[in-house]
A = this chain, B = another copy of it.
Amino acid sequence: DDPLVIAGRSFNSRLLVGTGKYKDFEETRDAIAASGAEIVTVAVRRVNLATPGAPMLVDYLDPKVYTFLPNTAGCYTAEDAIRTLRLAREAGGWNLVKLEVLGNVKTLYPNMPETLRAAEILVKDGFEVMVYCADDPIAAKRLEEIGCCAIMPLAAPIGSGLGVQNPVNIRLIIEEAKVPVLVDAGVGTASDAAVAMELGCDAVLMNTAIAEAKHPILMARAMKAAIEAGRLAYRAGRMPRKLYADPSSPLAGLI
C-alpha cells in the first residue's frame, strides 16, 4: 500500500542491498533473502566473466526474482563509468543502473563534476540513471534536472558505518526533490537506517552494515524491520519535541 516507485517500476521493499563482502554466495543469498530486498546492486567489474565453471552470483540470486542494478564501483572517470555501463547493457540488457564516479580511494566519495558529466551522457543515451552523489542539495537538484531517476546521497563514507552525518543536507535534498531520494552508503546499524527513513528518504541502500555484522542474517532481518519502522514513523508524523516533561498519565480520577 506504500510502494517505492523508481523509473516507473514499483517495489514493496524500501531496502536495497549490495552483494559484496559476504563470506560466500550462500551467505549472500541468505542475507539478501532475510533483508526482503527486491533490488540488489552488482559491481559490473566484479562479475565473474573470466573463469568458466566457477560459481556465479546468478546461481544464487535469481534475476527473475531480484532486480539487478549494475553499478560502476571502481570507476574514477566519467568515461570509465560510461563504458562500464554500456558493456553491462550489451551483456545483460540492463537499462536501470547505478552510476558512481569516485573521487579517491581513501574516501570513496564521488567526483561530482565527473558524475554530472557522466549522468548527462548516460541519460541522453537512454539509461535510467540512479546516481550516487555528495549530500549537496544544489548538485542533487542538478542531477534531477539532468534526468536521473533517483538521487542517492551518501550518509557517510562507504563502509564506514557512521550513520547519517548531515541530516540537514539530506532534509534539504528531500525537500526539493521530485524523484526518489535514497541514502546510499554509511549506514552502520538499524537505527541509522530508521533515521534516514524518518528524514523522508524513499529508500536506503546498504551493504557493509549487513555483510560485516557479526551475524549477517540477523542484521538483514534487523534492517528490514528498521526500514519499515522508519518509513511508518515518517508517515505517522512524530510527536513534537518538548523541553519539559508532560505527564503521560493525566490524573482524571482518584482512588
Contact = CB atoms under 8 A, between A and B. Distances in A.
Interface of A: 18, 20-21, 41, 43-50, 71, 73-74, 84, 87, 103-113, 116, 134, 136-139, 141-142, 156-162, 165-166, 168-169, 172, 185, 188-191, 193-195, 198, 207-209, 211-216, 218-219, 221-226, 228-233, 235-255
Contact of A107 (B74, B166, B222, B244): B244
B232 A229 contact: no
- Of A21, A46, A223, A233, most buried by chain B (CB within 10 Å of CB) is A233
A236 B255 contact: no
Given A134-B136, A160-B243, A222-B233, 4 more contacts: A106-B172, A161-B238, A208-B248, A219-B238
A128 B221 CA distance: 34
* 4 closest Cβ pairs, A-B complex: A159-B246, A214-B237, A103-B138, A73-B249
Nearest to A242: B160
What is the oligomeric copy number?
4
A249 B46 contact: yes
Contact of A254 (B18, B45, B241): B45
Contacts of A240: 161, 212
Contact of A219 (B41, B168, B236): B236
Nearest to A138: B103
- Of A110, A138, A142, most buried by chain B (CB within 10 Å of CB) is A138
A113 B156 CA distance: 22
B137 A103 contact: yes
Given A44-B255, A73-B249, A247-B158, A195 B188 contact: no
B194 A159 contact: no
Contacts of A225: 225-226, 228-229, 232
Contact of A49 (B139, B221, B228, B253): B253
